[in-house]
Amino acid sequence: MPALSFVRSVWESFRATSGLEPRLLDGLKITHASPGKVKFEINIQKEHTNRLNILHGGAIASMVDLGGSLAVASRGLYSTGVSTDLNVTYLSSGGKIGDLIKAEASCDKFGKTLAFTSIKFLNNKDEVFARGSHTKYVALAWKDSKNIVEELTPRAGKTS
């Protein structure tokens, strides 16, 4: 199974079983996935905004969390672990209702116990407006029977 199909299946699992993601991020579309990298986009809706009618920092933080999880999934873990640390830096406003935002997440280090991820968010002018990092405790996630880690392990000369 290629990374994109696998990551989308993990996203569907989040949508089916989580309380937060289907309410807040239902319109999110995964546009690319390869081992260690995921790209997604979402149109800003009213539920994503603050009282200034611009993208809410909490919505961005939720996408840092989800983006880190999807980056871990892109390495083949179906259960993506639990958060141990999450950081967001807000550089400027992400936009207003109707604007499309894009995100690029990467799994920077993938170990037996911890996975370290980073993400950047781009506005409709392709300018970075926020960036984040997310650390996941993945030791128990390695036991999930739905994992495809071997299949998505990058190897020299292998393309996906």
Q: Using one digit for the tens of pLDDT, what is the confidence trace for 48-62?
A: 999 999 999 999 999
Per-residue pLDDT for 81 more than 80? yes
Please give, one letter per residue, the 3-state secondary structure of the chain. CCHHHHHHHHHHHHHHHCCCHHHHCCCCEEEEEECCEEEEEEECCHHHECCCCEECHHHHHHHHHHHHHHHHHCCCCCCCCEEEEEEEEECCCCCECCCEEEEEEEEEEECCCEEEEEEEEECCCCCEEEEEEEEEECCHHHHCCCCCCCCCCCCCCCCC
- pLDDT at position 160 is 46
Tell me, yes or no, whether 106 lies in a domain.
Answer: yes
Whole-model pTM: value is 0.93
Tell me, yes or no, whether 152 lies in a domain.
Answer: no
Higher-scoring residue by pLDDT: 158, 48: 48
Tell me, yes or no, whether 155 lies in a domain.
Answer: no
Q: Which of 48, 39, 7, 13 is closest to 120 using CA atoms?
A: 39
pLDDT in tens, 16-27: 999 999 899 999
- pLDDT at position 153 is 84
Per-residue pLDDT for 77 more than 50? yes
pLDDT in tens, 105-145: 999 999 999 999 999 999 999 999 999 999 999 999 999 99
Per-residue pLDDT for 156 more than 60? no
Tell me, yes or no, whether 156 lies in a domain.
Answer: no
Task: Count how many domains the chain has.
Answer: 1
Per cent of the chain over pLDDT 90 is 91
Tell me, yes or no, whether 102 lies in a domain.
Answer: yes
Domain span including residue 39:
3-143
Query: How is residue 95 written in tokens?
Result: 């936009």
Report CA Rg, the chain: 15
- pLDDT at position 1 is 60
Tell me, yes or no, whether 12 lies in a domain.
Answer: yes
Tell me, yes or no, whether 151 lies in a domain.
Answer: no
Tell me, yes or no, whether 124 lies in a domain.
Answer: yes
Indicate which CATH number applies to the domain containing 123.
3.10.129.10
